[in-house]
Protein backbone atom coordinates (compact mmCIF):
# COMPACT_ATOMS: atom_id res chain seq x y z
CA UNK A 1 0.00 0.00 0.00
CA UNK A 2 1.35 3.42 -0.95
CA UNK A 3 0.50 6.40 1.23
CA UNK A 4 0.33 9.92 -0.16
CA UNK A 5 -0.27 13.00 1.92
CA UNK A 6 -2.04 16.06 0.58
CA UNK A 7 -2.59 19.26 2.52
CA UNK A 8 -6.05 20.65 1.98
CA UNK A 9 -6.38 24.01 3.67
CA UNK A 10 -9.78 24.74 2.14
CA UNK A 11 -11.53 21.65 3.53
CA UNK A 12 -14.21 23.16 5.76
CA UNK A 13 -14.97 20.18 8.03
CA UNK A 14 -11.95 17.89 7.94
CA UNK A 15 -11.17 16.59 11.41
CA UNK A 16 -8.10 14.37 11.63
CA UNK A 17 -5.97 12.84 8.89
CA UNK A 18 -8.68 11.12 6.89
CA UNK A 19 -8.28 8.24 4.50
CA UNK A 20 -9.89 8.08 1.09
CA UNK A 21 -9.49 5.08 -1.19
CA UNK A 22 -9.68 5.14 -4.95
CA UNK A 23 -8.93 2.48 -7.55
CA UNK A 24 -5.13 2.87 -7.54
CA UNK A 25 -3.96 4.11 -4.14
CA UNK A 26 -4.81 5.21 -0.64
CA UNK A 27 -4.75 8.95 -0.06
CA UNK A 28 -4.68 10.78 3.26
CA UNK A 29 -5.93 14.35 3.55
CA UNK A 30 -4.36 16.48 6.25
CA UNK A 31 -5.92 19.70 7.49
CA UNK A 32 -3.38 21.28 9.89
CA UNK A 33 -6.15 23.22 11.65
CA UNK A 34 -7.87 19.99 12.67
CA UNK A 35 -4.86 17.97 13.82
CA UNK A 36 -3.65 14.75 12.28
CA UNK A 37 -4.44 11.85 14.64
CA UNK A 38 -1.08 10.21 13.87
CA UNK A 39 1.76 9.36 16.29
CA UNK A 40 3.92 12.18 14.81
CA UNK A 41 3.00 15.36 12.96
CA UNK A 42 3.45 14.51 9.25
CA UNK A 43 4.08 18.09 8.10
CA UNK A 44 7.90 17.90 7.91
CA UNK A 45 7.76 14.46 6.24
CA UNK A 46 5.34 15.80 3.62
CA UNK A 47 7.85 18.48 2.59
CA UNK A 48 10.73 16.19 1.79
CA UNK A 49 13.46 16.10 0.83
CA UNK A 50 14.53 19.47 2.20
CA UNK A 51 17.90 21.17 1.82
CA UNK A 52 19.38 22.12 5.18
CA UNK A 53 20.12 25.80 5.61
CA UNK A 54 23.28 25.72 7.76
CA UNK A 55 23.22 29.34 8.80
CA UNK A 56 26.14 31.20 10.32
CA UNK A 57 25.70 34.60 11.90
CA UNK A 58 27.42 36.96 14.34
CA UNK A 59 26.07 39.26 16.99
CA UNK A 60 27.14 42.93 17.22
CA UNK A 61 30.16 41.94 19.32
CA UNK A 62 31.34 39.53 16.59
CA UNK A 63 30.50 36.30 18.46
CA UNK A 64 29.80 33.60 15.88
CA UNK A 65 26.77 31.31 15.77
CA UNK A 66 26.13 28.31 13.52
CA UNK A 67 22.83 26.41 13.33
CA UNK A 68 21.03 24.10 10.87
CA UNK A 69 17.51 24.94 9.65
CA UNK A 70 15.40 22.41 7.80
CA UNK A 71 12.97 25.02 6.49
CA UNK A 72 15.27 26.69 4.00
CA UNK A 73 15.16 27.37 0.31
CA UNK A 74 15.87 29.51 -2.68
CA UNK A 75 12.86 31.59 -3.64
CA UNK A 76 14.03 33.62 -6.61
CA UNK A 77 16.93 33.75 -9.00
CA UNK A 78 16.35 37.37 -10.06
CA UNK A 79 16.96 38.90 -7.59
CA UNK A 80 18.79 36.09 -5.79
CA UNK A 81 16.75 35.32 -2.66
CA UNK A 82 17.30 32.61 -0.06
CA UNK A 83 15.38 32.35 3.19
CA UNK A 84 14.96 30.15 6.22
CA UNK A 85 12.39 29.87 8.97
CA UNK A 86 12.95 29.30 12.66
CA UNK A 87 10.70 27.58 15.19
CA UNK A 88 10.89 30.26 17.85
CA UNK A 89 13.21 33.20 18.38
CA UNK A 90 16.76 31.82 18.30
CA UNK A 91 20.28 33.26 18.40
CA UNK A 92 20.52 33.20 14.59
CA UNK A 93 17.44 35.39 14.22
CA UNK A 94 18.58 37.85 16.90
CA UNK A 95 22.06 38.09 15.33
CA UNK A 96 20.72 38.64 11.82
CA UNK A 97 18.33 41.33 13.06
CA UNK A 98 21.27 43.06 14.78
CA UNK A 99 23.70 42.93 11.84
CA UNK A 100 21.65 42.25 8.69
CA UNK A 101 24.10 39.53 7.63
CA UNK A 102 24.35 35.75 7.52
CA UNK A 103 25.95 33.05 5.40
CA UNK A 104 24.48 29.79 4.15
CA UNK A 105 26.83 26.82 4.29
CA UNK A 106 26.32 23.68 2.23
CA UNK A 107 26.13 20.49 4.27
CA UNK A 108 27.42 17.17 3.00
CA UNK A 109 27.57 13.61 4.24
CA UNK A 110 31.15 14.24 5.42
CA UNK A 111 29.90 17.18 7.54
CA UNK A 112 26.68 15.54 8.83
CA UNK A 113 27.97 14.78 12.34
CA UNK A 114 29.39 18.30 12.74
CA UNK A 115 26.09 19.74 11.52
CA UNK A 116 24.20 17.67 14.09
CA UNK A 117 26.54 18.90 16.87
CA UNK A 118 25.90 22.49 15.79
CA UNK A 119 22.18 21.93 16.41
CA UNK A 120 22.71 21.72 20.20
CA UNK A 121 20.72 24.09 22.39
CA UNK A 122 23.49 26.08 24.03
CA UNK A 123 23.91 29.53 25.55
CA UNK A 124 24.30 32.47 23.12
CA UNK A 125 27.99 32.95 23.99
CA UNK A 126 28.86 29.36 22.92
CA UNK A 127 30.54 29.21 19.52
CA UNK A 128 28.95 26.32 17.59
CA UNK A 129 31.86 26.27 15.13
CA UNK A 130 34.13 25.30 18.03
CA UNK A 131 31.49 23.00 19.57
CA UNK A 132 31.23 21.09 16.28
CA UNK A 133 35.02 21.01 15.70
CA UNK A 134 34.81 23.21 12.59
CA UNK A 135 37.08 25.90 11.21
CA UNK A 136 35.70 29.43 10.87
CA UNK A 137 36.73 31.09 7.62
CA UNK A 138 36.11 34.80 7.03
CA UNK A 139 33.15 35.57 4.81
CA UNK A 140 33.96 36.81 1.30
CA UNK A 141 31.44 39.67 1.15
CA UNK A 142 30.11 39.89 4.71
CA UNK A 143 31.64 40.01 8.17
CA UNK A 144 29.99 36.69 9.13
CA UNK A 145 32.30 33.65 8.98
CA UNK A 146 31.55 30.54 6.97
CA UNK A 147 32.39 26.87 7.48
CA UNK A 148 35.94 26.17 6.22
Mean local confidence (pLDDT), 83-106: 93
> Strands of 26-30's sheet, edge to edge?
3-7, 26-30, 18-21
What integer best gives the mean pLDDT of the chain?
Answer: 83
List pLDDT tens digits, range 39-63: 888 887 787 778 888 999 999 999 9
Q: What is the pLDDT of residue 8?
A: 39
Higher pLDDT, 33 or 139: 139
Same domain, residue pair 70 and 132: yes
Same domain, residue pair 78 and 119: yes
Name the most confidently modeled range: 2-16, 19-33, 75-89, 107-121: 107-121
Which structural domain range is residue 133 located in? 53-147
> Strands of 53-58's sheet, edge to edge?
64-69, 53-58, 103-105
> What CATH number is associated with residue 84?
2.30.110.10
Q: How many domains does the chain have?
A: 2
Q: What is the pLDDT of residue 58?
A: 97
Same domain, residue pair 14 and 86: no
Q: What is the pLDDT of residue 48?
A: 76
Distance, in Å, from the CA atom of 109 to the CA atom of 8, rounded to the nearest integer, reads 34
Same domain, residue pair 65 and 110: yes
pTM score:
0.72
Q: What is the pLDDT of residue 3?
A: 40
Residue partners of 76: CB distance under 8 A and separation at least 6: none
Same domain, residue pair 77 and 122: yes
Categorize the per-residue pLDDT at 86 as very low, low, confident or very high, splitting at 50, 70 and 90.
confident
Q: What is the pLDDT of residue 135?
A: 96
Amino acid sequence: MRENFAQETSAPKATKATKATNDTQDTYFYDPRAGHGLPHDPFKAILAPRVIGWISSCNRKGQANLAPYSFFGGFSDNPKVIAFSSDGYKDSIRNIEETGEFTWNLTSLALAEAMNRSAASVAPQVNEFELAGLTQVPGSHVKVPRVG
